[in-house]
Every structure is written in C-alpha cells, then in structure tokens.
Amino acid sequence: MSGIFVLDTNSLQVFGNYYPQHFPSFWHEIQALIDQGRLVSVSEVREELENGNASEHLAEWVNEHPTLFSTPTSAEMNFVAEIFRVAHFGQLIGERQRLKGMPMADPFLIARAHVLDGCVVSEESLKPHAAKIPNVCEHFGVRYQKVQGFLGEVGWQF
C-alpha cells in the first residue's frame, strides 16, 4: 500500500534504535519517504522529543528535519474538536500534561492521519474502553499500526 504515515513520538524513538552509522540504508529509505511526502508527523511530536529522552543522534536528526513536524491545519483542528466531542476521549490529554502545559501529540496525530487519509504509526496498543490512539482511530475509522507493521507495509528488509 502506498499511503501516508504519521509518526508518533514512541515510534520515532524506536527508529532511534537504528543507529545511522550501522543502518545507513534504513535512514536513506526514511529520507526517501519524507521526500515523497509519505512520512509526516506533527509539531507536538517534535516538542515531546525535545522534552523527553531522545537519543543524541535522534535529537540531531529531528533538528535536521523541521518540515517533517507540521503545525495543525484548520481541518485538523476541526477534527481534534470532533475527537473531543466524545467525552471519553478527553482522557487523551492527561492531568499532568494539562497542569504542566506539556505537549500532547495524540489527538493531532489522529487528526492529521484522518485529514490526509493516512495511517498513524504508534507503539500504543488497543485496550478495551481506553482513550488510546488505537481506540480513537478505530472509533473514527483511521488506520493505525506499530513500527513492525509499517516496515512490513513499505516492504523493507535489511
């Protein structure tokens, strides 16, 4: 399938396990998807990585790819509002994030994937009655998968 993939923070951290000096072809393929406009993310993911524990080489890579992390469009913001019309999905933003003003990418990832007819790539798992990316995606008919599924879908073998 040749779609658009919207990367979550935790999936980018998985990518960080592929050290560029040992997996140059992996990073070449990542760059090709970015150049084709098929690999995207959101500005909140960049902020989460900057506030979190991104490896040194991943932090450097993020800084070298600012256009990967877009700000939400009006269509995406409208869809975020739609997500939050489902009262249960208000839990996507935790109390700690709200109180500390921390970035929270989840609703923006889902909205971007919805607007672009793409697929969210996140390491979260579907949990009954939870407010997690897979639950929200299923509710709204947005595709999602983990890095392993992404690698299989793009057909990469190293």
Q: pTM, whole model, 2 decimals?
A: 0.92
**DSSP code for 72:** P
Residue with tokens 């996507």: 92
Q: How many domains does the chain have?
A: 1
Q: CATH code at 24?
A: 3.40.50.1010
Q: Which domain holds residue 122?
A: 5-154
* 34-86: pLDDT as tens digits: 999 999 999 999 998 988 767 888 999 999 999 999 999 999 999 999 999 99
Helix (H, G, I), strand (E, B) or coil at 105: coil
8 Å CB contact between 107 and 71: no
Percent of the chain with pLDDT over 70: 92
For 94, the enclosing helix (H) or strand (E) is: none
CB atoms within 10 A of CB 120: 25
151 φ/ψ angles, rounded to the nearest 5 degrees: -60, -40
pLDDT score for 1: 46
- CA 111/CA 131 separation, integer angstroms: 15
